[in-house]
Amino acid sequence: MTPLAEAMFWLANALIVPVWGMMWFLPDHDLTKRYIGDLKLTFLPLLVPYLVLALPVLPDLLMTLGTQMPTPAVVVELFEDPDMVVLAWIHLLALDTLAGRHIWRRMLVAGRPRAVSFPVLLFCLLLGPLGFAAGMALTWNVNGEDLSIPKTETGTTTNPSD
C-alpha cells in the first residue's frame, strides 16, 4: 500500500468519527441537527480522500469496467491492488454515512429513542444494507405518513412525482 493510500484511509476514518458519534450519542442535540443536517459538512469531506485516490486510477478503472462485464474475476483482480481496497473502503464509508444520515433523520422524525436509533445506526456503519433495512422498517408509515416525502415549511408534504 502506498503511503498516500494509507494517509487517505486514516483521514477518511477520522472524518467520520464526529459524524457517527453525534448521530449515536447526541441524536437530538441542536449541534447534531445543524452539523449532520448539512449534507456539505457530512458528505463532502469524504470526497477529498476519495478523489485523491480515485482520480489517478479513474481512466484505468473506467476502461476496465467499461470494456468488460464486471465478473467476480474482474472484481477480484481490481482488489488485488491494496490502494484499490482502500478506495473501496472509503467508498463504503461514504455510502454507509449517507445511509446512516438518512436513517438518523427518519429516526428523529419518528421520535425513536436513542435505545432504538443507536443499534440501528451502528448497523448502518458496520453492515450498511442491514442497518438501512432495519431503520426503514422501524420508521415505516409513522402516523400514517411516508417519511420519505419531504415536508414544506407549512408542514404539507411535497410529492416529487407531482
Residue 130 lies in a domain: yes
**Interatomic CA distance for residues 40 and 152, integer angstroms:** 21
**Nearest to residue 150, comparing CAs of 37, 71, 44?**
37
69: confidence class by pLDDT, cuts 50, 70, 90:
confident
Domain count along the chain: 1
**Interatomic CA distance for residues 51 and 46, integer angstroms:** 9
Residue 121 lies in a domain: yes
Residue 73 lies in a domain: yes
140: confidence class by pLDDT, cuts 50, 70, 90:
confident
Structure confidence at residue 25 (pLDDT): 95
Structure confidence at residue 92 (pLDDT): 95
Structure confidence at residue 161 (pLDDT): 41
Structure confidence at residue 141 (pLDDT): 73
Task: Collapse the DSSP code of 18 into the 3-class scheme (helix H, G, I; strand E, B; otherwise coil) and give the result.
Answer: helix
In this predicted model, what pLDDT tens digit does every residue of 6-55 receive, in sequence order? Answer: 999 999 999 999 999 999 999 999 999 999 989 888 888 899 999 999 99
Residue 122 lies in a domain: yes
Domain that holds residue 9: 3-138
Residue 81 lies in a domain: yes
